[in-house]
């Protein structure tokens, strides 16, 4: 996979995963506290921070992670 395509793929995976994970965070926070404002604030903050962290995690695995790859790097 070329580098440009891999970056787009990693970005798309980052965004779709954040939608799922932040929805879960919102639901749990709302269930515990019963406050939509608090649940929304926590979900937004958590989403922004974790999206950045996940993207760099994916990039590091792409660049340095050899687990499951063949010898030719594929």
- At 1 the three-state DSSP class reads coil
Q: What is the pTM of this model?
A: 0.60
The winner for highest mean pLDDT among 12-26, 32-46, 52-66 is 32-46
Per-domain residue ranges of the chain: 9-64
pLDDT tens track for 4-21: 778 888 888 878 888 898
CB 18 within 8 A of CB 50: yes
Q: In degrees, to the nearest 5, what angle opens at C-alpha 4 toward C-alphas 15 and 18?
A: 10
> Which pLDDT belongs to residue 26?
95
> Which pLDDT belongs to residue 30?
97
């Amino acid at each position: 996979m070329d580098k440009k395509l891999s970056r787009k793929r990693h970005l798309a995976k980052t965004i779709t995963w954040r939608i799922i994970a932040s929805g879960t965070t919102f639901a749990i926070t709302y269930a515990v506290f019963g406050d939509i404002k608090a649940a929304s604030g926590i979900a937004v903050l958590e989403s922004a921070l974790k999206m950045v962290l996940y993207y760099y995690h994916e990039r590091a695995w792409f660049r340095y992670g050899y687990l499951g790859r063949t010898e030719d790097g594929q």
